[in-house]
Amino acid sequence: MADSLSLRRMQAAILLFHGVDVLDFAGPLEVLSHAGSDLDPEKSKPLFEISLVAKDELVRTASNLTVKRSLSLDEAHDRLSEFEVLVIPGGPPKVIMPLIESGSPELQLIRNFAELSAPSPDRILFSVCTGALLLGGAGLLEGKSATTHHRALDALRTVCQTAAGRADAAPTKVVHARLLDGGLLASGARIITAGGITSGLDATLYVVALKTSRAAAESVARRMEYDWRQEEGVTA
């Protein structure tokens, strides 16, 4: 990818909700915040401007950490075309399933981002851990390969089957993996799913590589002193 594109500032959003798992969003937040900071030593600015999006101003995580949002859901909707990356973290099933079953505003934001005809041809929608259930519940995994936490693989299959709602729907190929690139939706958005918790670090580094370069992603991994597990495959 060209250097001019590698140095271009990009907007990323991370969706939060009460009961979200901390590392599911904090891991991607950390990786994205470092991306590109050493590509232009004179400017030394990260490539991603990151917004935490939530319904309520303060979000209580699964481990009782309180996080303040950057944008409300309404504000995020108004700016949706600006975002090139949307991160969907996970949480306990008792938190995730009501968001799906109620057709929540969070679920609608995911759908709207996926369906958006935006100027950028390489928008990325990716989930961490049980965040894949939200992608499945939004009907975005039909005919795709996807993964999630190993304890939620059956739940993901069920959610995808329910969301499809018809006998001739293309099945979702649910497999146990650290990350999977499910390819493009009709809108041009790319679907990426990560396995449990720390897999989100690998997936975010993969996103950085897609949006900038593999060298830039490797630089982030070195800075974080993280052993990026690139060899575990991204397609299925």
pLDDT digits (tens, 9 = 90+) for 7-16: 688 999 999 9
Structure token digits, residue 161: 């089957």
Domains, the chain, with CATH or none: 3-227 (3.40.50.880)
Place of tokens 């990560």: 194
Amino acid code (one letter) for 42 = E
pLDDT at 140: 97
Banded model confidence at residue 165, pLDDT cuts 50, 70, 90: confident
Residue of 47, 73, 129, 179 with catalytic role: 129
Task: Report the share of the chain in percent with pLDDT over 90.
Answer: 80
CB 132 within 8 A of CB 144: no
Given a cut of 60, whether residue 37 has pLDDT beyond it is yes
pLDDT at 5: 45
The 10s digit of each residue's pLDDT in 95-135 is: 999 999 999 999 999 999 999 875 555 899 999 999 999 99
Structure token digits, residue 165: 């709602």
The SS3 of residue 124 is strand
What's the Cα-to-Cα distance from 142 to each of 153, 179, 211, rounded to whole Å?
A: 15, 17, 25
The verdict on whether 160 is a catalytic residue reads no
Give the pTM. Answer: 0.93
For 183, residues 6+ apart whose C-beta sits below 8 A from its C-beta are 144, 145, 190, 191
Distance CA 81, CA 96 (A): 25
pLDDT at 221: 95
Spatial strand order in the sheet of 190-194: 71-72, 48-54, 10-15, 83-88, 124-128, 190-194, 179-184
Strands 124-128 and 83-88: parallel
Given a cut of 50, whether residue 2 has pLDDT beyond it is no
